[in-house]
Structure 1
Amino acid sequence: MPRRRAAAQAGVHERTARDWDHGIGKSNGARVLPDGRRIDYTTGVITIVSPFPSPLAGVGGPSLAALEARLHPRFLTLAEREQIADRHRRGESLRAIGRALGRAASTVKREIDARSIAGDYRPHAAQRAWATSRARPKTAKLAQAGPLREYVAAKLALRWSPEQICHALIVDFPDDEGMRVSTKTVYQALYVQARGGLRREVATALRTGRTRRKPHRSLQARTPRFVEEMVMISQRPAEVADRAVPGHWEGDLIVGTGSRSAIVTLVERASRYVLLGHLPGGHSAEEVRDVLVPLIATLPAHLRASLTWDQGCEMAAHRQFSVATGVPVYFCDPHPPWQRGSNENTNGLLRQYFPKGSDLSVHSRADLEHVAQQLNARPRKTLGWASPAERLRDLLTAT
């Protein structure tokens, strides 16, 4: 029977019938999915509830999607259970039924013995009982109070990412299997309110600052580039690319509201060590030069090998910078941010401290130094979960 006609006979809208077919129900204006997620499209809040009972599955039973799910060939399907019931009713032997289904006779026997009620085998009741027995709900790890939740909440408060936290648990508690959690579990605790054993406010510790998942957006257009003579990245020494030798830096700006203030960001390619420079009043070429020169001057000579920058007009005074510091400047090609990948990644981390659209002039040099120290003390996946400060120390010791 077509769905539209069936819906009319049942006295419901065709859209409701389609939702039922997919195991979707409604609860107080929200939609409840077969996996137990309740989505309130008005507030955007996602919670976990018990799976919505399908009208076709019996009161309090599993959804239609759960009834019809085929998880693995070893499990009997509803169609096979119907065949068992029909053939058993006709008096066929267990072996004959098994041959017809391609199953062992013992499988058929166990099914009839276990699912029959007063000697009567009913396939749909058997399917509902099987689907119900598969559900084994348990409390999420981070919904339970204890040292694991406290550890995760403390690290999120320090603006560590869920992945950094998961690997730090292995280092800090190598012999305690109870102190383990996956990255996905941490995100679920933050994004799904019912699993919010972590306080909802802690979700602001995420890099994005969002409390809901969003698809990745396309990259925004890059800033205009200047056309003066430059030394391009293709002429940069080969030793820079393999990150084996310390002292090669990538640089850029993060700009405040109205482009009236900015922060210079420098990242050392081998160790991901970060240096920050303050530009509270503007970011002209001369102002950037006057901040970069003393910033580079704080480094020992063997850590001043090169600087890679994009083609932003703030580096128009790059020749004067090179003369003052002895550091050559190499410029990236137009529009490939991956040529300065370490710096782009670091700027994303810094936006957690200095959000877009905020006034960067309110931050002092001490504030910038504190942020740089926090970033340099964080374990990094790309460094084998060592921190930039530790990696730079090791590189300096080795050289």
Structure 2
Amino acid sequence: MPPRTDREQLSSSKTGHGRRLTQTDREEIAYLKRLGKSMTVIATAIGFDKSTISRELARNTTGGQYRATTAQAESDKRTRAAQAKPAKLAVNSRLRAEVERRLELKQSPEQIANRLPLDFPDDPEMRVSHETIYTSLYVQGRGALRKDLAGHLRTGRAVRKPRAQARTRGDGRTHPLRNVVSISERPPCVEDRAVPGHWEGDLIMGAGNASAIGTLVERATGFLCLLHLPGDHTAPTVAAAMCEQMAKLPETLRLTLTWDRGSEMTNHAQIASATGLDIYFADPGSPWQRGSNENTNGLLRQYFPKSTDLSLWGPGYLEQVAIEMNNRPRKRLGWRTPAESLDQLLSEHDKPGAALTG
């Protein structure tokens, strides 16, 4: 892998559990806090000590609100300020020489950092963290130590392997999604379908699972939105398409979303932060928990047959399909269309929204 930048290296530098808070961590904190979770629950879900979460919230909560983007911007500012300072090993030649000598003896950075206070108990200048040693060895522009010394480490690597890289099972699949909120915690009001704004979502797959189209179905009315996923259906692509689609809808229609546990929803915390949706996940192997979406996906196969290349269909065609589906009379709606039913519900609840009849 190529060497990482200062910012990438420092963002994964060690804290109580091995790295600093990242943008993704902060978005998950904001999401869980908005759901009313305690600091203990958030800390367990994110994988940090409770004290770290407490400091983060105290430092970056303004007017009762914690915003991930603001918190990350402040963190980046502090990081830039720290980077502007001369590296400790660069300015302290005696300390640098001692660290290099011990690295040549194949002592690890952790062993060196913890042994120095014992060997120099009365000399506070002979102190350095093991992370500073790693940074000096691996980060471009911060390297006070000789680069060849990296070869004396147990790994022998010339570049450092990221701690937080995605791990996979033996069959190549990624581990389950992090910090999901189960459908069992979804508010009871979602079940009665009386209020619009609660969605179910999934992907319909093309031949060989090489292409996909995202489907979003509003539970109360069956109103359908389709997500154009050009090129791939990875988590970043799905997140971008979903955020773009939800931005077209009034805020009152962005309440909850229930999805299955596919890897395409890895960025669910970012989606929740950007759209305002509370996102819940169905139990594994339980498609009936998203019955509205499953039924609609079956109807969509009239337009998008199985074992075909779904990437051939552009956004214009997807929009036309959604319009046709939203203007089909439905038995459960008293033969009204989803578009008519949604407009009526919005009107009954005195909530502003553009006409959605297409």
User: Which TM-score applies when normalising by structure 1?
Assistant: 0.43
Bigger relative contact order, structure 1 or 2 (CA pairs below 8 A, ≥6 apart):
2
Structure showing greater radius of gyration is 1
